[in-house]
Amino acid sequence: MEKDGILRIKRNDDRSVGEKLKIYCAQCKRGTNHLVLKSVNIEHSKVIDIDHDGFEITIDCSDDYQIIQCQGCETVSFRHENWFSEDVDYDSDGRIIYLYPKRSEDMYHIGYHYEVPKVLQQIYRETIDCFNNGSFILCAAGLRAIVEGICADQNVTDGPVEPKNNKNDGMGAPNEEKRSKNLQGKIGGLKEKGILTETHANILHEHRYLGNGAIHELSSPSKNELAIAIEVIEKTFDIVYGLSDKADILCRRKASKNEK
């Protein structure tokens, strides 16, 4: 019984190097072969008892830490496989796999928008985190905050709004256009300045209703609605910031050619 309580730790380096694993790739957006480039395996075994025949009864666990590379797009990431003997039952083999960055087919993967102001990038990343963790009300609020942030960055403080009763006043003249400093007016201001087309502005108005329901009524949008709304925000990033950035590049190249 003198062995009771002994803890054994064993480390193996590069034991799984060269192995190929089928793992979901965020860049390829599907399961692809991943090659293990580097690995460290650590095994723990603790003796908790010794039976009457002298056999050790142990609790065991192991951790495999692997640097992996997608064989499609060559993106490098990290994989951690944990195994615990006490979690082995008819429903599980005791293995839990963690991927870094976290990813799966059900997650929305953060896009790269380098031309977007940093504060908006931060709100965007936090909003995607809310989506991936099931915090749908907060996600909708974050999407609304991004639209507000775009307006502020573009110095749009108000804009035209369509009157609720857009009929003639009884004398043959239509109701006069009104202006507002709320988000509805600001989206109208983006259209007024030519930053967005009328079609895109109308889409953002639907986006605004989603945020209104989440913030004022604590109404949770569906996952599909939010996924579409996120795509709208990304397209808005491209229109407001990406196209102007590309236009600047073209202007600089044209000026450079003229100088020659």
pLDDT of residue 184: 87
Residue 48 CB partners (closer than 8 Å, separation 6+): 4, 5, 57, 58, 59
Please check whether residues 185 and 66 belong to one and the same domain: no
Q: Final residue of a domain: which of 36, 66, 100?
A: 100
Q: Final residue of a domain: which of 43, 73, 100?
A: 100
Please check whether residues 94 and 172 belong to one and the same domain: no
pLDDT of residue 176: 66
Q: Please tell me the total count of domains within the chain.
A: 2
How do residues 147-163 score in pLDDT, each as one tens digit?
999 999 999 998 888 77
Please check whether residues 44 and 172 belong to one and the same domain: no
Please check whether residues 178 and 64 belong to one and the same domain: no
Please check whether residues 84 and 124 belong to one and the same domain: no
Q: Final residue of a domain: which of 68, 100, 132?
A: 100
Please check whether residues 38 and 123 belong to one and the same domain: no
Instruction: Give ∠ CA 132-137-140 in degrees, rounded to 5.
Output: 80
Please check whether residues 128 and 163 belong to one and the same domain: yes
Report if residue 1 sits inside a domain.
Answer: no
Residue 232 · residue 204 · CB < 8 Å: yes
pLDDT, averaged across the chain: 83
Global model pTM greater than 0.85: no
Is the pLDDT score of 6 beyond 90? no
Q: What percent of the chain has pLDDT over 90?
A: 41
Q: What percent of the chain has pLDDT over 70?
A: 81
Is the pLDDT score of 17 beyond 90? yes
Please check whether residues 198 and 228 belong to one and the same domain: yes
Report if residue 123 sits inside a domain.
Answer: yes
Categorize the per-residue pLDDT at 183 as very low, low, confident or very high, splitting at 50, 70 and 90: confident
Please check whether residues 159 and 240 belong to one and the same domain: yes
Is the pLDDT score of 93 beyond 80? no
Report if residue 107 sits inside a domain.
Answer: no
Q: What is the mean pLDDT of residues 174-198?
A: 85
- Report which listed range, 33-37, 166-170, 193-197, 220-224, is most confident: 33-37
Which is more confidently placed, 130 or 5?
Answer: 130
Tokens at 117, concatenated: 């102001």
Question: Which domain does 49 fall in, by range?
Answer: 7-100
pLDDT of residue 1: 42
Report if residue 108 sits inside a domain.
Answer: no
- Alpha-carbon distance of 86 to 31, in angstroms, equals 30
Phi, psi for 151 (deg, rounded to 5):
-60, -45
Determine the angle formed by the axes of helices 198-216 and 183-192, rounding to 10 degrees.
Answer: 170
CATH classification at residue 195: 1.20.120
Please check whether residues 188 and 221 belong to one and the same domain: yes
pLDDT of residue 207: 72
Residue with tokens 């192991």: 62
Please check whether residues 165 and 239 belong to one and the same domain: yes
Report if residue 147 sits inside a domain.
Answer: yes
Q: What is the mean pLDDT of residues 32-50?
A: 91
Report if residue 110 sits inside a domain.
Answer: no
Please check whether residues 164 and 46 belong to one and the same domain: no
Report if residue 149 sits inside a domain.
Answer: yes
How do residues 205-260 score in pLDDT, each as one tens digit?
877 767 666 666 677 788 888 998 999 999 999 999 986 555 555 555 555 556 65
Report if residue 2 sits inside a domain.
Answer: no
